[in-house]
Structure 1
Amino acid sequence: MNYEKMYSTIDTHVAGEAFRIVIQSPIRLGGDDIQAKQDELKNNFSNEKNLLLNEPRGHRGMHGCVVTPSRVADFSLLFFNHQDVSNFKYEGLLATVTALVETGNLNRAANDLYKVETVKGIYTLKALVENQEVTSVSIESESCSEIEANLDYTLVRVDDDRNYLLYTLPDSIPSIELEHLAKLNRWGLERTTELMNENIDYVGIVVVESVSSSPGKIRSVTFERDGYILRSSGVDSTFAILTALGQKENSESEIENHSIFGSSLTAKRIAGDEHRFSLETEAFITGSHEFIFDQDDPLKEGFLLA
């Protein structure tokens, strides 16, 4: 066994979305510039990234995070993901702060505030700890805005950076429930296929259902660019829905966004700023692992199931 090829990770999830956090590995990224390190990670280490993301070690829903030192924050966080997946996810920040604090890889801050450096900027998170367990972690968005509304969808830009297309649940699908997953999946694949050849810049497609009996409660499903269904209701998606609702009369200042798998995220409008939101949730550690990259393994890079 060659321990120089060992990767130590902490596996986590936020509302069902899985993150594999690399805390020790042979991956060496030079310099202090966060963008240069992210570019180096993106353009190299394909075997190593596939090892961690694909079956039989990972799966299509797995996201990768690499923790590195930072001179301007408590640590810096780099993302690596499957093709057509955003290279930044709020959930990764929430999961990593939780994992590092709970495992002792990050000293607890006296004020419970932690700064994380990313290619999108430096974010401040608040993590509340009880009995060495992070009971909640919260973050605030950057500016979000509605860009376009037409008969088909509403285009919302989250953090002045990532575009989401919001659709109302079509009449052909009774509700966003697991029993209608096959219909939802077909609908999402049809939309992503239609958009593939159109010149529209977007990160995800969100289909939304309001729950008439519960004001402020939303059900949604987010499809990534390859048609894959996000496993959670999505932080970005929740911010995007709240942004779109803000354009309507008597709009909600808080929504509870439920996924098809039963998890939920709650976002609130920040007082005095109609374009920014806050979200508080809990992340969970599901395991710690050590992976070995073996050049002789016929499945050393794994595979994806259709």
Structure 2
Amino acid sequence: MSGPGSEPLPPAGLEVRTVDYHTAGEPFRIVTAGLPPVPGGSVAERRAIALRPAAGSVVGVGGARVPRPGPLETVRQLLTREPRGHAGMYGGFLVPPDDDEAQLGVLFFHKDGYSTACGHGTMALGAWAVDSGLVAAPDDGTARVWIDVPSGRVAALVHRSAGRTTAVTFRNVPTRVLARKLPVATSVGTLEVDVADSGARYASLAVPGGGPFAAAGSGARVAPGALAALVPLGREIRAALLDTYDLYGVIFHEELPDTEAGPNQRSVTVFTDGQIDRSPCGSGTSARLALLAADGRLGPGQELRHESVIGTVFTGRVLGHGPGGVLTEVTGQAHRTGEHTFVLDPADLLGTGFLL
């Protein structure tokens, strides 16, 4: 558990407004008001600045001194920690785009910090931009929303029918395959993983067979019952490759019977310090697409049916190859779940909250 330290509480009147979405079950909390100024000349630079600790330190849990949270970090903690959030919370701070060609810029955040890429968040942002009227869209047809993220410029194609958003297609930055069949020593033996950079870096491997990796009674290897074994293994693999590859997450996948359109897989992504992606993972799906294309399993006109640990589905396609890598797109659904005004009472001894 991590919890409040003895840092000074923000002043009375701190108020943060959000619109919450989920994409295939994975939450995305969009901060629309109450964000302190975020310095920097680009989205990537703003993320780098956000990662820097504020000057000085405070006494944290257990008496250890920890970096003093700055204003932006205070808001991130407020929104991802209990009682206002939870360890699986994800979201985005809206910031200016890098230039006038994009409509939005975003800093992706989660309980452990700020990520470089987020496909499910890009889909949610595209849906929100159209649903809120920020970006004009036809009642029937598709609107394109350009979004600057730390890994580059991405697009959300928001599909509409009868005045409603029905699906969103995420077009990612190019994906590069970095390593194949890389041996990694783990507590269950040496495993071979593939590594790809799809805006964030992922190790990918088939779920180990037998034992705790098969969910009891289901026959499935990627299922909620297997998470107790997969999460610590994901942490092991990430820790082993973090220094070499700056790894963000680990994708465990299992094969399902092919569809008429192409491959069919179920996967779960374990990212940062043991977070579980409830969706099939947008940028992780881009990584899987590049690896399948490299194996000759995904050709022109084919698509990957990519199922999550909770049964939701993304479909992914390879659009082509460029000098930067494999060009991919991923389609899923994003739905609004609520609008919130979060406040912090200076007399609240829990401060920005806690994590279990």
Task: Tell me the TM-score normalized by structure 2.
Answer: 0.75
Match for residue 146 of structure 1? 177
Deviation of the 1:31 alpha carbon: 6.3
CA separation of 1:206 and 1:7: change in aligned 2, threshold 3 A: same
Match for residue 166 of structure 1? 204
Match for residue 108 of structure 1? 136
Q: 1:183 aligns with which of 225, 229, 232?
A: 229
Cα RMSD over matched residues?
Answer: 2.7
CA separation of 1:101 and 1:17: change in aligned 2, threshold 3 A: same
Task: Give the Cα separation in 1 of the matches to 2:242 and 2:316.
Answer: 33
Q: 1:66 aligns with which of 89, 93, 113?
A: 93
Q: Is the deviation greater in 273-282 or in 51-60?
A: 273-282
Q: Is the deviation greater in 280-289 or in 88-97?
A: 88-97
Superposed CA deviations along residues 126-157 of structure 1, whole A, max 9, x for unmatched, are 21234543211112222223222225333332
Q: Which letter maps to 2:312?
A: S
Deviation of the 1:119 alpha carbon: 2.9
Q: Which letter maps to 1:176?
A: V
Secondary structure (helix, strand or coil) at the match of 1:138 reads strand
Secondary structure (helix, strand or coil) at the match of 1:246 reads helix
Superposed CA deviations along residues 4-30 of structure 1, whole A, max 9, x for unmatched, are 421110011111111110011151235
Q: 1:218 aligns with which of 237, 257, 265?
A: 265
CA separation of 1:275 and 1:58: change in aligned 2, threshold 3 A: same
Deviation of the 1:189 alpha carbon: 4.1
Secondary structure (helix, strand or coil) at the match of 1:276 reads strand
Task: Give the Cα separation in 2 of the matches to 1:33 and 1:85.
Answer: 15
Match for residue 195 of structure 2? 156
Task: Give the Cα separation in 2 of the matches to 1:130 and 1:137.
Answer: 12
Give the % identical residues: 25
Structure 2 residue 62 is matched with structure 1 residue 15: no
Secondary structure (helix, strand or coil) at the match of 1:96 reads helix
On the 8 A contact 1:128/1:137 being kept in 2, the answer is yes
Match for residue 126 of structure 1? 157
Q: Which runs of 4+ in 1 moved over 6 A?
A: none
Superposed CA deviations along residues 97-144 of structure 1, whole A, max 9, x for unmatched, are 21232133x141466122222333322322123454321111222222
Task: Tell me the TM-score normalized by structure 1.
Answer: 0.87
Match for residue 237 of structure 1? 284
Task: Give the Cα separation in 2 of the matches to 1:286 and 1:132.
Answer: 19
On the 8 A contact 2:254/2:267 being kept in 1, the answer is yes
Task: Give the Cα separation in 2 of the matches to 1:155 and 1:143.
Answer: 17
Match for residue 117 of structure 1? 148
Q: Larger % of strand: which?
A: 2
Q: 1:98 aligns with which of 110, 124, 127?
A: 127
Task: Give the Cα separation in 2 of the matches to 1:30 and 1:201.
Answer: 25
Structure 2 residue 332 is matched with structure 1 residue 281: yes
CA separation of 1:165 and 1:287: change in aligned 2, threshold 3 A: same
On the 8 A contact 1:145/1:275 being kept in 2, the answer is yes
On the 8 A contact 2:120/2:279 being kept in 1, the answer is no
Counterparts of residues 247-286 of structure 1 (less than 5 Å): 247-251=294-298, 253-271=302-320, 275-286=326-337
On the 8 A contact 1:48/1:293 being kept in 2, the answer is no
CA separation of 1:203 and 1:32: change in aligned 2, threshold 3 A: closer
